[in-house]
Amino acid sequence: MTATDLTTSTATAAHIETTERYAAHNYHPLPVVLAEGDGAWVIDVDGRRFLDCLAGYSALNFGHSNERLVAVAREQLGRLTLTSRAFYNDQLGDFAEALCRLTGKDMILPMNSGAEAVETAIKVSRKWGYEVKGVPAGQASIVTMEGNFHGRTTTIVSFSDDEVATSGYAPFTSGFRRAAYGDIDAVAAAIDDTTVAVLFEPIQGEGGVVMPPEGFLRDLRALCTERNVLMVADEIQSGLARSGKTFACDHEDVVPDIYIMGKALGGGIYPVSAIAADHAIMDVITPGSHGSTFGGNPLAAAIGTEVVAMLEEGTFQARAVEIGALIEAGFRPLVGQGLLGVRVRGAWAGIDIDPALMTGRQMSERLMDRGILAKDTHGSTVRFAPPLVASDDDIAGLVTAVTEILAAG
């Protein structure tokens, strides 16, 4: 992989200027303007190629312009894209059945974005708490984890400890309490008679691919069962083959009460999200108590059904394991050679750079100069989540680039 000449062209500068002028500044992108994508690679407006090692925060697990997903989307685009949920459509039933089969749950509730799915899980958990568990009206509480990231709606940032996400948005929604991530004793201490759910990420992606101690998920499952509390797993980033398993909870053979899914569920083509649970939980949802104009629309359902079919083949999970082994072998020797830490689970990695050497942003910029796109988080941490169609040579190029950048200092 050769370095890319990233002298800002007139076309690139014009697109950036227009975007910065007319779009709110809620992101701080690298100065590259992408125009095309194929597999693990993207091309900018000047024709320069980049290895995409972010993959839309795991929304593009199956790669850009995946032929199977594009074919399904094109076919459905020419037939029917949206109906009101006041009517049935011929795609939703098949999608619901397929996703129930994948999750092993009785029912799904489809939405659009990941944040909507988290909000849906919160509502379902609370209603279950009142109608099934018998929590007094208005008192339901949910335990969340320190360092969590579940989205940026007002309710969700109410239980975030990220100052950037919370500053200026108070007053916040009550009913949440945080416990230390991976500390089962802290979670147990946070649960009381009003607690209806524990909401967690099996792997904290935004934090830099942070994993709890081995056994935490099993202990959490046992604790939730013992205390009659719903175990709610946010698998929006960690699920659907990213970690080397269909769901990250599978690494400890744990089945949560509610799965939250999004991102890759739409194949990087269309926003598709959902929660899945059994009747005893999902039956609290009744007509009019929750809904979405676009949730479960025919286009989303058709794409989601094909995503499930691809996951059921198991090839993407296996490829994630192979990619992870290559990343682990390449990055682990760099600890003490510019890296303070490396975390890898499937095709998902976080590296902690010695802050005396450079920031995560600086690493991302230098990788971009070499034709690789990645994203920093929390100062000197960088995350890598290449599409699961990336080749061995692609991963070797990533490892070489990081190694050489660290050596150059």
What is the pTM (predicted TM-score) of this model?
0.97
Among the listed residues 109, 93, 118, the one whose alpha carbon sits nearest the alpha carbon of residue 278 = 109
207: closest CA among 354, 320, 57? Answer: 57
Q: Of 188, 244, 189, nearest to 211 (Cα)?
A: 244
Q: Read off the tokens for 329.
A: 């072998």
Residue 6 confidence (pLDDT)? 59
List, by residue number, the catalytic residues.
149, 234, 263
Helix and strand counts by DSSP (H, E) for the chain:
14, 15
**The pLDDT of residue 409:** 87
**Mind listing the domains of the chain with CATH numbers?**
10-65+316-408 (3.90.1150.10), 67-312 (3.40.640.10)
Q: Locate 211 and state its tokens.
A: 């994993």
- C-beta of residue 109 within 8 angstroms of C-beta of residue 285: yes
- Contact between residue 205 and residue 215 where contact means Cβ atoms under 8 Å apart: no
Which helix (H) or strand (E) covers residue 193, if one does? Answer: none
Contacts within 8 Å (CB) and 24+ apart, 14-20: 15/45
Residue among 308, 291, 273 at smallest CA distance from 114: 273
Query: What is residue 378's predicted lDDT score, i.e. its pLDDT?
Result: 87
Q: Is 330 helix (H, G, I), strand (E, B) or coil?
A: helix
End-to-end CA distance of the chain: 20
What's the one-letter identity of residue 71?
A
Q: What stretches in the chain show pLDDT beneath 50?
A: 1-3
pLDDT of res. 7: 63
Q: Which residue has the tokens 């990533």?
A: 398
Query: CA-CA distance, 246 to 239, in Å (whole number)?
Result: 6
Q: Which long-range contacts (CB under 8 A, 24 or more apart) does 100-105 make?
A: 100/276, 101/308, 101/312, 102/246, 102/308, 102/311, 102/312, 103/247, 103/259, 103/276, 104/255, 105/259, 105/276, 105/277, 105/278
Which residues, 6 or more positions from 165, have their beta carbon under 8 angstroms from its beta carbon?
Answer: 152, 157
Q: For position 402, what pLDDT does the model report?
A: 98
